[in-house]
Amino acid sequence: MKKVVKFGGSSLASAEQFKKVGNIIHADAERRYVIPSAPGKRFPDDIKVTDMLYACYHLAEEGKDFKKALAEIAARYQEIIDGLSLSFSLKDEFKVIEKNFKEKAGENYAASRGEYLNGIIMAAYLGYEFIDAAEVIRFKENGDFDSEFTNEILKKRLAETDRAVIPGFYGAYEDGRIKTFSRGGSDITGSIVARAAKADVYENWTDVSGFLVADPRIIKNPEGIETITYRELRELSYMGASVLHEDAIFPVRREGIPINIRNTNRPKDEGTWIVESTCQKSRYVITGIAGKRGFCSVNIEKAMMNSEIGFGRKVLQAFEEYGISFEHVPSGIDTMTVFVHQDEFIDKEQKVVSAIHRLADPDSVDIEADLALVAVVGRGMKSTRGTAGRIFSALAHANVNVKMIDQGSSELNIIIGVANDDFETAIKSIYDIFVESQL
């Protein structure tokens, strides 16, 4: 058995947290490859080291004095080193960083140092080998992650060592320049390492005990999700459930490696299992509810639209011409509605409307703003009758007007459009009917 374990920033924010992580790793000899994030927040108003690095580098880039800001970052690491009673120093590393900041090595380089330095400390603390991610995670010249080349070199490198620490979040181009993933990207590194190591499980340790059925800011103490499929998770994270970076699914998914989301502060909790497929029923018909506010619907009407071949293409071309992606396109006999993100659309709306007129010659175009989308996701819906009926009667009882319905043919989710103001009520009423009333 081989486990790859990734620890998020809050799990590594202080020496005390490092000790918890050390205990977790030592409790299971199979936890062989460790991916650390940079130190995160120690308390709610604290600043993540990654954000400190961005700010410090911006000072350097503007030619301002950045020494004090860099010293504050060094102090964060020193506090961890002292708290762990380690005897080494990062002084020389900070000299190199200062020099590179002066030479404007780039924002990506700057941000990556958070994970790099934390990785060095972690390796020393555990007595594991340190592998610099710049050597094994490769980006293409166009900035895309080079998954296949990385997999090859990483596989070879891991075969040489039984236990190692590989910092998350960054890699390098062929010429050695550092490039980071988008924010939260250490999750992706963990997944890449799990794939290359052909791990049995990818454990992702964070500060919550896995995914919850609904957003705790809307539902008080929501139930946790025990098992969720990759596809269900895609739907939920797209709609705003953010525990894991969206792109972290892809590398492990190719190998069928399950991801186990765990809580560093409650290591006994089982957390959530993210799997390719399962015959385990979720506890409720639905697996999760998520949603987002801030959508607009553009309603296009034209008599006999249904028999005009190419009408849909022409309408969508108008959006494409202005670089706007659409979310959902429900249609009727004489109408077609395009859902878009309001903030992307607002500045270009009149241009898009005139392009629709120019290209598709509709009878009318009507825009409705301030809408929210709610996604009810669950593999159990396929085999359960009446799910849609229960959703809509719950919404009707809560006085929520449904403006759009979209059920994917996979029967994995039902998407409902409501007014922004009804967003929370909609989620509460769906949660009540499927979860609360079953407890």
What's the min distance (Å) between Cβ of 104 and ligand ASP? 21
Q: How many Å apart are CA 248 and CA 192, to the nearest integer?
A: 8
What's the min distance (Å) between Cβ of 110 and ligand ASP? 12
Q: Which is nearer to ligand ASP, 107 or 334 (CB)?
A: 107
CA 282 to chain centre: 22
Q: Which is nearer to ligand ASP, 38 or 73 (CB)?
A: 38
Q: Which is nearer to ligand ASP, 187 or 422 (CB)?
A: 187
What's the min distance (Å) between Cβ of 9 and ligand ASP? 5
Q: Which is nearer to ligand ASP, 48 or 302 (CB)?
A: 48
Q: Which is nearer to ligand ASP, 180 or 387 (CB)?
A: 180
Q: Which is nearer to ligand ASP, 170 or 345 (CB)?
A: 170
Q: Which is nearer to ligand ASP, 47 or 404 (CB)?
A: 47
Can you say whether the dihedral through the CA atoms of 157, 160, 161, 162 is positive or negative?
positive
In this structure, are residues 244 and 187 in contact, taking their beta carbons and an 8 Å threshold? yes
What's the min distance (Å) between Cβ of 50 and ligand ASP? 4
- Residue whose structure tokens are 């202080």: 14
Residue 374's nearest CA partner among 358, 359, 394, 356 is: 394
Q: Which is nearer to ligand ASP, 204 or 227 (CB)?
A: 204
What's the min distance (Å) between Cβ of 329 and ligand ASP? 33
Q: Strands across the sheet with 201-206, in order?
A: 129-130, 164-165, 31-36, 3-7, 201-206, 259-263, 272-275, 227-229
Whole-Å CA distances, 43 to 13, 14, 260, 392? 9, 10, 25, 41
What the block records as the tokens of 167 is: 């910092």
What's the min distance (Å) between Cβ of 127 and ligand ASP? 24
Neighbours of 321 (CB within 10 A): 14
Can you say whether the dihedral through the CA atoms of 377, 383, 386, 388 is positive or negative?
positive
What's the min distance (Å) between Cβ of 21 and ligand ASP? 14
What's the min distance (Å) between Cβ of 10 and ligand ASP? 9
Could you give the 3-state DSSP secondary structure of residue 392?
helix
Q: Which residue is nearest to ligand ASP (CB)?
A: 186
| Binding stretches for ligand ASP (CB under 6 A) | 9, 37-38, 48, 50, 114, 168-169, 183-187
In this structure, are residues 354 and 291 in contact, taking their beta carbons and an 8 Å threshold? no
CA 220 to chain centre: 23
